[in-house]
């Protein structure tokens, strides 16, 4: 009998790292906690939505979850609100957060340790095993520690496995566009009205196109609809005064724009089964660009700068400074101005490829211009196919979660 302790933090890691790993672990090591008990410990994260604990606990493979608010009490004193008991043997697995926590908690519990390292491997002197996404991570570590490392590939690519074995369904006869508007207020305030306005412009030229919005599990529908209302969101007027009204029928829930365009709201999470029917997605930056890459779905990435202080989710010190009370707005504008001026790539597939394989539109975006680009892609399927081929190539092979589960099995058996 072993305890498996998974360390994670933000919404992207919980959805795209923890989920596939725990599924593989249960398949290999048993479904009962008498064989292996899975505990997820969530550390505080600047990108947190506040619902990560509920999402992790919703996974049937997970037995218990420690919320971010209780994390440091456990890290420092070893105490949990419900007085968790620990088995004599176990392993601590890092799937997001600060790698140092792996060392500290493994030492406290007397367990072995495994870190999944996407970019950099730290604390390699004190950690037992590493599963890394790329050989370049290993090359940056002294050779005397290479025996601890296994190259497993990118966990994000395993998103494709979610839909691989689903029953075959007929492809929809009409084109479908996914609108990924974000999950946090800063992104939603611009993303919702911009995407509604773009949808209307596309619908004017291609009236048979269908639209969907995958709704983040941290967002309720009434809150989402407020971002489409000019009384609640001043940015509706910035993007052409296209408002949206929430409609619930027996068949589905959708937003209908002031111009009559219907947009289906998908509340199933994750929404992969609906997303794979999309010929194209319009999306904000973030982990969603990695998920779309894993599914091989062409995308246009939108970074509107009408509200320059909206982007406050940078990693490290820029993210801390941008969220400081009082001066955060001023610092956010300055930081975003300097970052955008660099001309760097923001979407994950472009970062991985080190080139713009999906278009990134940065600036004071106009719905008509974005819609015209989307229409051009939809009326030239060869362009969409070329983008999809590039996404699949940069995605790499699937199977990282299975290899991580194999390492864990080696350590606990």
- What's the confidence (pLDDT) of residue 397? 75
pLDDT range class, residue 335, cuts 50, 70, 90:
very low
137 and 210 share one domain? no
- What's the confidence (pLDDT) of residue 157? 80
Q: What is the pLDDT of residues 52-67, one digit of tens each?
A: 899 899 999 999 999 9
Tell whether 20 is covered by a domain: yes
Q: What is the pLDDT of residues 184-239, one digit of tens each?
A: 887 899 999 999 999 999 999 999 999 999 998 778 899 999 999 999 999 999 99
105 and 246 share one domain? no
CB atoms closer than 10 angstroms to residue 353: 17
pTM here is 0.77
In total, how many domains does the chain have? 2
Is residue 1 scored above 90 in pLDDT? no
Q: What is the pLDDT of residues 348-380, one digit of tens each?
A: 899 888 899 999 998 889 999 999 999 999 999
First to last CA, the chain: 9
337 and 353 share one domain? yes
- What's the confidence (pLDDT) of residue 333? 54
Mean pLDDT, the chain, rounded, equals: 87
- What's the confidence (pLDDT) of residue 173? 74
- How far apart CA 197 and CA 189 sit, in angstroms, is 13
Print the domain residue range for 391. Answer: 176-395
- What's the confidence (pLDDT) of residue 317? 43
149 and 210 share one domain? no
Average pLDDT rounded to a whole number, residues 19-48: 86
pLDDT range class, residue 138, cuts 50, 70, 90:
very high
**Looking at per-residue confidence, does 100 or 412 come out higher?**
100
Tell whether 77 is covered by a domain: yes
142 and 209 share one domain? no
Average pLDDT rounded to a whole number, residues 320-333: 50
Percent of the chain scoring above 90 in pLDDT: 60
In this structure, are residues 297 and 290 in contact, taking their beta carbons and an 8 Å threshold? Answer: no
133 and 197 share one domain? no
pLDDT range class, residue 396, cuts 50, 70, 90:
confident
182 and 306 share one domain? yes
In Å, what is the CA distance from 409 to each residue of 3, 26, 33, 108, 353? 12, 11, 15, 21, 33
Tell whether 47 is covered by a domain: yes
- What's the confidence (pLDDT) of residue 362? 84
Tell whether 93 is covered by a domain: yes
Tell whether 165 is covered by a domain: no
Least confident range from 23-32, 226-235, 281-290: namely 23-32
Is residue 167 scored above 60 in pLDDT? no
Write the CATH number for 41: 3.40.50.2000
Tell whether 161 is covered by a domain: no
**Looking at per-residue confidence, does 218 or 331 come out higher?**
218
141 and 186 share one domain? no
pLDDT range class, residue 395, cuts 50, 70, 90:
confident
- How far apart CA 98 and CA 92 sit, in angstroms, is 13
Average pLDDT rounded to a whole number, residues 376-405: 92
127 and 236 share one domain? no
48 and 71 share one domain? yes
Tell whether 352 is covered by a domain: yes
DSSP letter at 83 equals -
Percent of the chain scoring above 70 in pLDDT: 87
DSSP string covering 309-375, please? T-----SHHHHHHHT-TTTHHHHHHHHHHHHHHTT---SHHHHHHTS-SS-EEEES--HHHHHHHHH
- What's the confidence (pLDDT) of residue 341? 59
Q: At what angle do helices 19-29 and 400-412 cross, to 10 degrees?
A: 50
Tell whether 386 is covered by a domain: yes
109 and 187 share one domain? no
- What's the confidence (pLDDT) of residue 315? 46
In Å, what is the CA distance from 195 to each residue of 130, 177, 178, 268, 304? 41, 11, 10, 20, 11
226 and 118 share one domain? no
Q: How do 176-180 and 210-214 pair as beta strands?
A: parallel
Is residue 291 scored above 90 in pLDDT? no
Token pair in block for residue 196: 């509604």
């Amino acid at each position: 009998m072993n305890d498996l302790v998974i360390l994670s933090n933000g919404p992207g890691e919980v959805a795209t790292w923890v989920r596939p790993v725990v599924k593989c672990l249960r398949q290999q090591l048993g479904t009962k906690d008498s064989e292996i008990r899975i505990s997820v410990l969530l550390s505080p994260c600047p990108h947190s939505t506040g619902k990560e604990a509920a999402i992790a606990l919703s996974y049937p493979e997970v037995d218990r979850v420690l919320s971010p608010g209780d994390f440091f009490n456990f890290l420092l004193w070893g105490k949990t609100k419900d007085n968790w008991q620990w088995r004599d043997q176990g392993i601590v697995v890092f799937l997001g957060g600060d790698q140092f926590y792996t060392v500290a908690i493994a030492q406290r519990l007397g367990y072995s340790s495994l870190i999944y390292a996407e970019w950099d491997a730290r604390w390699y002197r004190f950690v037992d095993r590493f599963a890394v996404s790329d050989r370049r991570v290993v090359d940056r570590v002294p050779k005397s520690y290479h025996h601890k490392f296994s190259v497993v590939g990118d966990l994000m690519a395993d998103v494709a496995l979610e839909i691989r074995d689903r029953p075959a369904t007929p492809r929809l006869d009409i084109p479908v566009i996914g609108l990924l508007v974000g999950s946090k207020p800063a992104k939603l305030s611009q993303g919702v009205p911009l995407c509604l306005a773009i949808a209307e412009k596309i619908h004017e030229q291609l009236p048979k196109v269908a639209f969907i919005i995958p709704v983040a599990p941290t967002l309720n529908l009434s809150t989402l609809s407020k971002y489409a209302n000019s009384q609640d969101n001043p940015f509706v007027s910035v993007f052409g005064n296209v408002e949206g009204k929430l409609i619930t029928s027996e068949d589905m829930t959708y937003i209908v724009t002031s111009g009559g365009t219907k947009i289906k709201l998908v509340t199933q999470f994750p929404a992969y089964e609906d997303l794979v029917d999309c010929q194209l997605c319009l999306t904000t930056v973030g982990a969603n660009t990695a998920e779309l890459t894993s599914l091989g779905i062409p995308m246009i990435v939108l970074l509107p700068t009408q509200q320059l202080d909206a982007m406050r989710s940078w990693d490290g010190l820029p993210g801390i400074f941008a969220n400081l009370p009082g001066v955060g707005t001023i610092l956010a504008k300055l930081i975003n101005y300097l970052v955008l001026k660099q001309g760097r790539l923001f979407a994950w597939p472009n970062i991985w490829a080190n080139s713009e394989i999906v278009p990134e539109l940065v600036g004071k975006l106009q719905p008509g211009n974005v819609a015209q680009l989307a229409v051009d892609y939809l009326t030239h399927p060869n362009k969409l196919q070329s983008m999809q081929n590039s996404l699949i190539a940069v995605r790499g092979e699937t199977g990282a979660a299975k290899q991580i589960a194999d390492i864990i099995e080696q350590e606990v058996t």
